[in-house]
Amino acid sequence: MPVPTAVDPQRTPASQPAMEDKPMVVSKQKTDVVCGVPTQVVCTAFASHILVVVTQFGKMGTLVSLEPSSVAGDLSRPVVSTRVLLGQDEPLIHVFAKNLVAFVSQEAGNRAVLLAVAVKDKSLAGLQALKALIRLCQVW
């Protein structure tokens, strides 16, 4: 009797109906070397949020919520407020998060962004490269 292997794309559990053509939740991922460190980015689109994962250690890391503020400021550039949901809450992470994904929030019709960042070097040097990588995973 053949033993079913774990990696069998044809095998589905008994209760599973036919696989859907397009997933309900759209994601894109990319891997690249940023400042010498292999980095993975995954962007996932939800109705209310864009989930952006930027990881170098195989972890989700610090979780930051970026929300466009309803406070009327300069209408051409809405204010974005950041909140650390999980991990070390320090000024640098707020600045880094804003610089990294504010553009995502604005381009995605002012949606909130949930950023999971596990990056060793949060300097300006890597920031542009990370933004470019996020851009490659555009799901908005």
Q: Which residues bind another protein (CB under 8 A)?
A: 6-7, 11-13, 15-17, 19-20, 23-25, 27, 29, 31, 38, 40, 42, 44-49, 51, 53, 55-60, 63, 65, 85-86, 114
Between 46 and 74, CB nearer to another protein? 46
Tell me the closest approach of the beta carbon of residue 97 to another protein, in angstroms.
15
CA atoms of 8 and 32, how far apart (whole Å): 29
Between 51 and 100, CB nearer to another protein? 51
Tell me the closest approach of the beta carbon of residue 41 to another protein, in angstroms.
9
CA atoms of 68 and 113, how far apart (whole Å): 9
Length of the chain: 140
- H/E segment holding residue 55: strand 49-55
DSSP states of 72-85: ---TTS--EEEEEE
Between 11 and 89, CB nearer to another protein? 11
Tell me the closest approach of the beta carbon of residue 43 to another protein, in angstroms.
11
Between 76 and 88, CB nearer to another protein? 88
Residue 44 contacts by C-beta under 8 Å, 6 or more apart in sequence? 25, 26, 27, 50, 51, 53, 139
Tell me the closest approach of the beta carbon of residue 70 to another protein, in angstroms.
18
